[in-house]
Structure 1
Amino acid sequence: MTDDPLYVGHAPTDAALDRGWLMGHFKNPADPRHSEDVEIKWGVHPPGDRREQWATGEVRTALLVLISGKFRLDFPHRSVLLDRQGDYVLWGKGMDHSWEAEEASTVLTVRWPSVPGYRIPDPA
């Protein structure tokens, strides 16, 4: 890392290095992409890809924007299907959720604040 506060990247390339995450508390503190305020993810999902388990006890707010494909978010009280580029959903603290890519999909997720403890372990 350098002391340069400017970082120029390519979302698909950088995302492939860290499970999709481009920014958050989990980046090296010397990296300009380190933030305890926000997390940003470039998610590329094959058809049928789904969250391994529900996210529960959420303490963050999240925004998910559909870049391409067809992507469903499930909440305890309803499901939301994003199927047009630019469709998005915003949910707040305490909202349990899960998701599934109904078609090959690319989504951009922004969550705030960036807090430890929500990572699902890597598959063995």
Structure 2
Amino acid sequence: MDLITGNAYDTDTRGTGWFLGFSDWTRHGPGELLHVPRQQALSGLCAKWFDHPAGHDSGDAKPVSEGRTVSILVSEGSAFRIEFSGRADFPEDTTEVVLLRRPGDFAAWGAGLYHRWHCLERSTVMSLRWNPA
């Protein structure tokens, strides 16, 4: 599964704070999802900032992902669950659950995954999506 998780505060950014981008230290995890080569063109860049009330959920699975997406929890006292699967019916044996609980927690995923989410406690989440050219 083309998925990595972590916390932006805990990521070794060599003192820069940049955990996503063209720097060499963003080259980690499956598919190097947080690395965007300096010369690589991008298309379809989107940014979403959403304050989810407790109990808010995505309902059925979202369409299969394209490109790359990173969702980052930015609020204190929050809990936001994202489930990922290579199949739209989310069978238990192929589903990975990620819980974002502390500010800076993130999930980054590539193309070909289905996802759905549920807000357990009020959460503000910023998501970035783009297509590498």
User: Does the TM-score normalized on the shorter chain lie above 0.5?
Assistant: yes
1:78 and 1:92 map into 2 onto residues whose CA distance is 14
Higher relative contact order, structure no. (Cα contacts within 8 Å, ≥ 6 residues apart): 2
Which of 65, 71, 79 is 2:72 aligned to? 65
2:50 is equivalent to residue 43 of structure 1? yes
Give the RMSD, CA atoms, in angstroms: 1.8
8 Å CA contact 1:56, 1:94 repeated in 2 = no
Aligned length: 80
Identical counterparts, % of pairs = 34
In 1, Cα distance between the equivalents of 2:123 and 2:44? 26
The Cα shift of 1:36 comes to: 4.7
Contiguous gaps of at least 5 residues in structure 1 = 1-34, 114-124
Contact 1:74 1:97 in 2 (8 A): yes
TM-score between both structures, scaled by the size of structure 2: 0.56
Mapped partners of 2:49, 2:101: distance in 1:
17
Which residue is equivalent to 1:79? 97
Query: Of 84, 95, 100, which aligns to 2:113?
Result: 95
Cα separation, 2, equivalents of 1:61 and 1:48: 26
What TM-score results when the alignment is normalised by the length of structure 1?
A: 0.60
